[in-house]
A and B are shown apart, each in its own frame.
Chain A
């Protein structure tokens, strides 16, 4: 009976109550930071003595915050595009290719997701110091593409596995070239996977802190590096304002994803 929702009895109330508590625990910090960003207390007192927009004004008036956000967006966009393209090719190779060591190859391509980021961070930092890419946009994009690649490969291979290849073969039998069949039949069929890959690899770069801390230079820093620096200095409410905008962005992304999925899966 334990897996029958309607017959759980008192346990259902207990489980529901506990789930509600955990949901509140998960939601609490997010809501709280948004509320505080409008609070007038410099020391982040709660409930705030008054409401204000001055932290947002300070944030938007500070060119270093704007620069960091633009840098992050640029790097994340490039890393996501590269990761999706490279990941798309790799997924075809992994799913369609018939060669030995396929599993090992897949394991290798997914390792950047498993290895502790700090190990990769100091490794790639040392390497880029030697070849002159440390502190450059290219260095950032390359290292973030490596980290984002697993997040592109996983949804695309999953989508490709679910796609019936005989449909593609049928198109070829009907006279399409293999290239046409792939572009016009297969790619549209796995578009949800490609879309997820794009979102996840963008986020993988956009939120990445550890590699960024090492890779950043005084003239080139991403938003997480900027936040990291502010957090180490003090708990300024300006960070709360920046954080709230990031929460807002996450919400937008979730809504767009939900709408897109609904539209694409029709």
Chain B
């Protein structure tokens, strides 16, 4: 009785209990769900009802190439990010906090710095007459400037730079949750460091790698700014193509169809990622 009335009393107050989500639902419903659904409807009604936009999308060599290139870039970026992030996360997970917090500070600084600023810096660094080419030529390592920008190399460097924090930070959590005793036990039982890494450390951190990797892959698939500035015209990515189709070609039907494809792929992978992460979470937690 007492508990019951208490609970009711608490819910009646401000901010209200179950009703509290109402403003958020109205906001997201009206200005997110409605526009997105309207856009998707447009893909089958503009300029006339039918599936001709999807036929055009998958029938044209140009758009299919953009799809393939988008997956290629996202896959390369994810692979490189995982390989670079793992040792760093490993070190951060066990490092004394004094040095660790310095590295964390640098990660946060790069993550919080304006996205365009970071991309601009890479444009300047990677350009034909940029610092990297000049340094390499000055050292006599190369004779001609390397093509580092407006191609896959440029996009990969710029994207890995942006994605690294999103991979490192969750991985540190995964690695810290592993009991060091398991690895001590392996060593006591005669495992070489390589065996212990391959048979114990790597399998135990795999859920974190998979979850983080999927997140990086999904984010890369839909990325607009960095590929648009560091990539070339020959290897355009889906997000940039969608923007161009709508903004320059004013072809809303086709752009909406491409947006729908991106949405479906993203959401499917996101659901997969939630399952991976969700499995680790204690039941009942939000």
Contact = CB atoms under 8 A, between A and B. Distances in A.
Given A18-B91, A149-B27, A115 B266 contact: yes
Contacts of A142: 27, 31
24 contacts: A1-B187, A2-B193, A5-B95, A19-B91, A26-B165, A30-B109, A30-B118, A90-B25, A94-B20, A96-B11, A97-B18, A106-B286, A108-B28, A117-B224, A118-B243, A121-B243, A153-B24, A168-B10, A178-B10, A181-B10, A210-B239, A227-B120, A228-B116, A250-B114
Contacts of A91: 20
Interface in B1-52: 6, 9-25, 27-28, 31-36, 38-39, 42
A223 B210 CA distance: 36
A115 B187 CA distance: 45
Nearest to B40: A123
Contacts of A98: 17-18
Interface string B113-147: 11111111111110101110010000000000000
A95 interface: yes
Contact of B23 (A86, A165, A209): A86
B247 A214 contact: yes
Interface in A207-266: 207, 209-210, 213-214, 224, 227-228, 231, 235, 239-240, 243, 246-247, 250-251, 253-254
Contacts of B16: 89, 92-93
A68 to B, nearest CB: 12
Contacts of A250: 109, 112-114
Interface string A84-117: 0011111111111111001101111101101111
Interface string A115-153: 111111111111100000000000000110110010001
Given A19-B91, A117-B224, A90 B39 contact: no
A19 B243 contact: no
Nearest to B94: A5
Given A2-B201, A22-B88, A93 B120 contact: no
Given A19-B91, A93-B22, A126-B38, 6 more contacts: A5-B95, A90-B23, A90-B24, A182-B13, A213-B243, A235-B124
B213 interface: no
B91 A32 contact: no
B202 to A, nearest CB: 10
A52 interface: no
B84 interface: yes
A253 B112 contact: yes
Contacts of A45: 129
Contact of B27 (A43, A146, A181): A146
A29 interface: yes
Interface string B161-173: 1001100000000
Contacts of A32: 121, 124-125, 131
A239 B120 contact: yes
A78 interface: no
A181 B14 CA distance: 9
A246 to B, nearest CB: 5
A207 B110 contact: no
Interface of A: 1-5, 8-9, 11, 14-16, 18-19, 22-23, 25-30, 32-33, 36, 43-46, 86-99, 102-103, 105-109, 111-112, 114-127, 142-143, 145-146, 149, 153, 157, 161, 165, 168-169, 172-173, 177-179, 181-183, 203, 206-207, 209-210, 213-214, 224, 227-228, 231, 235, 239-240, 243, 246-247, 250-251, 253-254
B38 to A, nearest CB: 6
Interface residues of B, number: 104
Q: Chain B binding site: helix, strand, loop or mixed by DSSP?
A: helix
Interface of B: 6, 9-25, 27-28, 31-36, 38-39, 42, 84, 87-88, 90-96, 102-103, 105-110, 112-125, 127, 129-131, 134, 161, 164-165, 175, 178, 180, 183-184, 187, 193, 196-197, 200-201, 218, 221-225, 229, 239, 242-243, 246-247, 252, 255-256, 259, 262-263, 266-267, 270, 274, 285-286
Nearest to B218: A114
